[in-house]
Structure 1
């Protein structure tokens, strides 16, 4: 992962190199039987189809006003290159709605994976807490699990 933390409080940006070809990284991002190995519970319901919706569940974080469940909608994709999703917190009292964009680019014999997680409200203390938690989670836990899963593929 390169670069300093992002100063824009509305977005998280992660940039990670993997020693795997783009086709393998794309499979890890879009095949349900692989998603369940590194993503939140519910990933097995993913379908690479614009408009498809499913639910992911994780640990609730009350101090960040996160219910632990998000409805996910596939917004757009370009095969082998880009996947864009909308995440909406399932708690009706929480207006959190984020856009998650994955981009895969070939780099040498491997791939550079870019994640942009946007839509945080910098005027909402709970959203700032959620951004802090998710930023750390994406950079460490998620990228590490994704990398380990691809090593086993």
Structure 2
């Protein structure tokens, strides 16, 4: 499920997916660089507040990031594409039965900027596919 909210200067994408895996397994996929590279992008992601890393976004280049919040197996947030897109990704894990409901919130798109609008429109359609790849990587 994807939900989008817009205001002129700040748009947010929210996407969620139920994964039939324990929060520990989902957390590892979000925070282990080798697993992360399998479903989204290569980069030295680590669940440590203040940790700076880059994500290799292929044609979109190396995107600088900084971890801003961590609650083990519950929440990981980081600034994404600092200096260009300047958005924030927040991954929230909710235990549900024997699985996990993963909620992604991608916030801070500047719709007044051509880059911000293009990224918002592309990622609004792209995030569900990325979460499908995450589900595949966990299998």
Q: What TM-score, normalized to structure 2?
A: 0.89
Deviating runs (4+, > 6 A) in structure 1?
A: none
Number of aligned residues: 136
1:55-74 to 2 correspondences below 5 Å:
55-60=54-59, 67-74=60-67
Gaps of 5+ in 2: none
- Greater fraction of residues in strand: 2
Q: CA RMSD in A?
A: 1.7
Q: What TM-score, normalized to structure 1?
A: 0.81
After superposition, the C-alpha distances for 1:77-112 in whole angstroms (9 at most, x for unaligned) are: 00010000001256xxx4x20110000001111110
Determine the structure 2 residue equivalent to 1:39: 40
Gaps of 5+ in 1: 61-66
Higher deviation after alignment, 47-56 or 142-151: 47-56
Give 1 or 2 for the bigger CA radius of gyration: 1
Higher deviation after alignment, 32-41 or 69-78: 32-41
- Contact 1:69/1:89 (<8 A) preserved: no
1:82 aligns with 2:84: no
